[in-house]
Chain A
Amino acid sequence: MTLDELGANQRAIICDIHLKEMDRQRLFHLGVYIGAIISLQAKAPLQDPIIYFVCGSAIVLRRQEAKAIMITLEDSI
Chain B
Amino acid sequence: MSTYRIAFVGNPNVGKSAWINLLSNADFKVGNWPGVTIEKKEAIVIWNEDTYHLIDLPGVYALGKQQNEERITTTYLQEEVIDCIVHIVDATNLSRNFFLTLQLRELQIPMILILNFMDEVEKYHIEIDVDALSHRLQLPVLAYSAFDYEAKDIVWQEIRDYVHESPCYLPLLYQKDAQIYTDMGLYIHEHLPPHIHLTKKALHQYLYQLMRQDEHACKQYHSWYLDEDKCYRFQTHFHEEHRQKIAVQAVHSLMKYVKQEEGVRYKKTKKIDSFLLHKVLGLPLFFLFFSLLLFFVFRLSAPWNDFIDFFINQMLAKYVAAAVSFLPSSIQGLLLQGILAGVGGVLTFVPLMTILYFMLGILEESGYMARIAVLLDRIMRPFHLSGKSFVSLLLGFGCNVPAIYATRTLDNEKQKKLTALLVPFMSCGARLPVYVLFASAFFPKKTIGAILAIYSIGLLLAFICAYIYTRMHAFQDDEMFVMELPPYRFPSFKVLLQKVKLEVLAYIRKATGIVLWAMVLVWSVSYFPNARVEDSYMAQFAKQVSFLYEPLGFGTRWESIASLPGSIVAKETVVGFFDQVLLHNEEAVYEKLEWKEDIKKVAYAFGSACRDSLQSLFLRPQKEEIDSSLVHAISSLWSDPLASLRAFNFMVYVLLTIPCIMTLQALYKEFGKKICLLSIVTMTIVPYLVCFFIFQFFSFIFIK
A, B: real partners: yes
**Per-residue B-contact encoding for A22-52, CB less than 8 Å = 1, 0 else:** 1101111111110100000111111011010
The answer to whether residues A53 and B266 also contact, given A44-B375, A65-B482 and a CB cut-off of 8 A, is: yes
Is A27 in contact with B244, judged by CB distance below 8 angstroms? Answer: no
B480 and A57: CB pair below 8 A? no
Cβ contacts under 8 Å, A57 to chain B: 93, 96, 484-486
A55 within 8 Å of B by Cβ? yes
Q: Which of B66, B265, B374, B379 contacts A26 (CB 8 A)?
A: B66
Is A60 interfacial (CB-CB < 8 Å)? yes
Per-residue CB contact flags for chain B residues 344-375 toward chain A (1 = under 8 Å, else 0) read: 00000000000000000000000000100111
- The answer to whether B64 and A49 have CB atoms under 8 Å apart is no
State whether A58 touches B66 (Cβ < 8 A): no
Are the CB atoms of A58 and B480 closer together than 8 Å?
no
* Bound-state Cα–Cα, A41 to B485, Å: 11
B240 to chain A minimum Cβ distance, whole angstroms, is: 8
**A29-B62, A51-B485, A65-B482 known; A44+B277 contact, CB < 8 A:** yes
Are A60 and B282 in contact (CB-based, < 8 A)?
no
Residues A59 and B483 in contact, CB atoms below 8 Å apart: yes
Q: Judging by beta carbons under 8 Å apart, are A25 and B64 in contact?
A: yes
With an 8 A cutoff between CB atoms, is A18 at the interface?
no
Check if A30 sits within 8 Å of B96, measured CB to CB: yes
Q: Which among A29, A32, A41, A62 is the interface contact of B377 at CB below 8 angstroms?
A: A62
Residues of chain B lying within 8 A (CB to CB) of residue A56: 93-96, 262-263, 265
B248 at the interface (CB under 8 A from A): yes
CA distance A22 to B485 in the complex (A): 21
Partner of B248, one of A21, A35, A65: A35
A23 / chain B contacts, CB cutoff of 8 Å: 480
Q: Is B283 an interface residue (CB 8 A)?
A: yes
Q: Is B477 an interface residue (CB 8 A)?
A: no
Which chain B residues border A42 with CB–CB below 8 Å?
Answer: 270, 273-274, 277
Verify A31–B485 contact, CB threshold 8 A: no
Whether B123 sits at the interface, judged by CB under 8 Å, is no
With A26-B66, A42-B277 known as contacts, the answer to whether A49 contacts B96 (CB < 8 A) is no
Range of interface residues on A (Cβ < 8 Å)? 20 to 34
A61 in the interface (beta carbon within 8 A): yes
Main secondary structure of the interface of B (DSSP, over half): helix
Q: A45-B282, A62-B377 are in contact. Are A30 and B484 (CB under 8 A)?
A: yes
Tell me if A19 is interfacial: C-beta within 8 Å of chain B: yes
Min Cβ gap B233→A in Å is 22
* Min distance, Cβ B183 to any Cβ of chain A, angstroms: 27
- A42 to B274, alpha carbons, bound, how many Å? 8
- The 8 Å CB contact of A29, one of B61, B93, B266, B486, is B61
In the complex, which residues of chain A have a beta carbon less than 8 angstroms from the beta carbon of B486? 57-58
Flag whether B600 is at the interface (Cβ < 8 A): no
A-contacting residues, B79-100, CB 8 Å: 93-96, 99-100
Indicate if the CB atoms of B244 and A55 lie closer than 8 Å. no
Inter-chain contacts of A48 with B (CB < 8 A) = 377-378
Whether A25 touches B66, Cβ cut-off 8 Å, given contacts A31-B96, A56-B94, A56-B96, is: yes
Shortest A30–chain B CB gap in Å is 6
Across-interface contacts of A35 in B (CB, < 8 A): 248
Known A30-B61, A31-B99: A58·B484 in contact at CB below 8 Å: yes
Interfacial residues of chain A within 50-77, with CB under 8 A of chain B in the complex: 51, 53, 55-62, 65
Tally the A-B contacts, defined by beta carbons under 8 Å. 110
- Is residue B279 within 8 Å, beta carbon to beta carbon, of the partner chain? yes
A42 to B379, CA, bound (A): 18
Q: Is the interface of A mostly helix, strand, loop or mixed?
A: mixed
Closest CB-CB distance, B61 to chain A, in whole Å? 4
Known: A25-B66, A45-B280. A59 touches B374 (CB 8 A): no
Cβ contacts under 8 Å, A25 to chain B:
62, 64, 66, 240
- Report the nearest B residue to A23, measured CB to CB: B480
* Interface core residue of B61, B270, B485 (most chain A CB under 10 Å): B485
- Chain B: interface size category: 35 or more
Are B485 and A45 in contact, with the CB atoms below 8 A?
no
Q: For the complex, is B595 an interface residue (Cβ under 8 Å from A)? A: no
Given contacts A30-B96, A31-B96, A58-B484, contact A45 B66 (CB under 8 A): no
A44 x B282 contact (CB < 8 A): yes
Complex: chain B residue closest to A36, CB-CB: B248
Interface pair A58/B485, CB less than 8 Å apart: yes
Smallest beta-carbon distance B671→chain A, Å: 25
A59 touches B66 (CB 8 A): no
Contacts of B273 on A, CB cut-off 8 Å?
Answer: 41-42, 51
Taking the closest CB of chain A, its distance from the CB of B478, in whole angstroms, is 10
Closest to A37 in B: B262
User: How far is A67 from B359 in the complex, measured between Cα atoms in Å?
Assistant: 37
Residue B278 at the chain A interface, CB threshold 8 Å: yes
A50 nearest CB neighbor, chain B only: B374
CB within 8 Å for A44 and B374 given contacts A31-B96, A53-B266: yes
Chain A residue contacts of B287, Cβ below 8 A: none
Complex Cα spacing A74 to B539, Å: 78
Q: How far, in angstroms, from A31 to B269 measured CA to CA in the complex?
A: 19
When distances are taken between beta carbons in the complex, the residues of chain B under 8 Å from A21 are: 240
How long is the Cα–Cα vector from A30 to B374 in the complex, in angstroms? 17
Distance between Cα atoms of A59 and B66 in the complex (Å):
18
Q: Which residue of A lies closest to B247 (CB)?
A: A28
Query: Which among A27, A44, A46, A53 has the highest number of chain B CB atoms within 10 Å?
Result: A44
Residues of the B chain whose Cβ atoms lie less than 8 Å from the Cβ of A49: 374, 377-378, 481
- Docked Cα-Cα span, A57 to B487, in Å, equals 8
Contacts A28-B244, A42-B274, A44-B277; A58 near B266 (Cβ below 8 A): yes
Q: Is the CB of A60 within 8 A of B378?
A: no
Instruction: Please tell me if the beta carbons of A33 and B244 are within 8 angstroms of each other in the complex.
Output: yes
Q: Contact at B485–A59, with CB atoms within 8 Å? A: yes
Encoded as 1 (CB less than 8 Å from any A CB) or 0, chain B from 471 to 496 comes to 00000000011111111000000000
CB distance from B117 to the nearest CB of A (A): 13
* Those of B268-322 within 8 Å (CB) of chain A: 269-270, 273-274, 277-280, 282-283
Contact at A29–B99, with CB atoms within 8 Å?
Answer: yes
> What's the Cα separation between A59 and B93 when bound, in Å?
13
Do residues A44 and B96 form an inter-chain contact, with CB atoms below 8 A?
no
Residues from chain A with Cβ under 8 Å of B93 in the complex: 56-57
Q: Do B484 and A22 touch across chains, with their CB atoms under 8 A apart?
A: no
CB-defined contacts of B94 to chain A, threshold 8 Å: 56
Chain B's closest residue to A32 (CB) is: B482
A sample of 8 inter-chain contacts (CB < 8 A) reads A25-B64, A32-B482, A44-B377, A49-B378, A56-B93, A57-B486, A58-B484, A59-B484
